Amino acid sequence: MLDAMGQPLLKVDNLQSWYGESHVLHGVGIEVGEGEVVTLLGRNGAGKTTTLRSIMGLVGKRSGSVKFEGKELIGARSDLIARAGIALCPEERGIFASLNVTENLMLPPVVRPGGLDLDTIYALFPNLKERANSPGTKLSGGEQQMLAIARILRTGAKLLMLDEPTEGLAPVIVQQIGRTIREIKARGFTVLLVEQNFRFAQTVADRHYVMEHGKVVDMMSSAELQTSTGRLHQYLGV
Ligand SMILES: Nc1ncnc2c1ncn2[C@@H]1O[C@H](COP(=O)(O)OP(=O)(O)OP(=O)(O)O)[C@@H](O)[C@H]1O
Ligand SMILES: [Mg+2]
């Protein structure tokens, strides 16, 4: 999962972030190899969303290092970070109510080659194809989540950061999202996933980082996670 130079696709070192005066991340370190699916687990308020937002350059102030394909992005603006090939699918999904499914899909700009075309996306998401002309307001929560994921596959981003894509969805839809993530991985995309549901995370991810109080406190593979549920319960308080 390392490139020819022995570097992971994303390497985050000693990442610190602030919202105004509030110091939220205290030195996060994570690595994500090309083609990997990696999760951030942790309790509410641990700093998972802030980690994704900080990688994307969407916090007030950040320091440390965020290297993508070996290139330092810590000082870069969020639009340049997007153009480098990182995309964020936020928890609130951001589907435009007044636009239909196809219009929502076509909205984010293509930032680099390698994205999927509309036909390929509709082949991957038959539910969305059926609803191509439906406005955003008429979609179920699951359909909106699928659309939010589908939308960034077009842009050419290599690293997809998904913030709690299964939140609030019925188990059968959660399974669909799981299949989608495995399919995305099979197509060579790299995924950094925030999840509260570690049983789900285990079915889609290669490795897991555990966050507490704005820091990474542990890392385990999915295989280790099976034998470490006691340790994980302590971290997550579940
Ligand atoms: N816009 C903001 N301004 C100030 N503080 C914030 C802001 N957003 C988050 N925080 C604080 O930063 C900390 C980390 O929040 P973050 O949203 O990253 O946690 P999280 O791990 O994603 O939690 P959850 O599981 O609830 O989504 C929390 O203490 C939160 O209160
Ligand atoms: Mg969050």
Ligand 1 in contact with 60 (CB < 6 A)?
no
Residue 18: CB atoms within 10 A of its CB come to 16
Ligand 1 in contact with 92 (CB < 6 A)?
no
* Ligand 2 ion: nearby residues, β-carbon < 5 Å: 49
One pLDDT digit (tens) per residue for the chain, 238 residues:
667 667 899 999 999 999 999 999 999 999 999 999 999 999 999 999 999 999 999 998 999 999 999 999 999 999 999 999 999 999 888 898 899 999 999 999 999 998 999 999 999 999 999 999 999 889 999 999 999 999 999 999 999 999 999 999 999 999 999 999 999 999 999 999 999 888 899 999 999 999 999 999 999 998 888 888 888 888 888 6
- List the one residue out of 141, 139, 138, 131 whose CA is nearest residue 164: 141
- Using CA atoms, how far apart are residues 149 and 10, in angstroms rounded to an integer? 20
What global pTM score does this model have? Answer: 0.95
Ligand 1 in contact with 115 (CB < 6 A)?
no
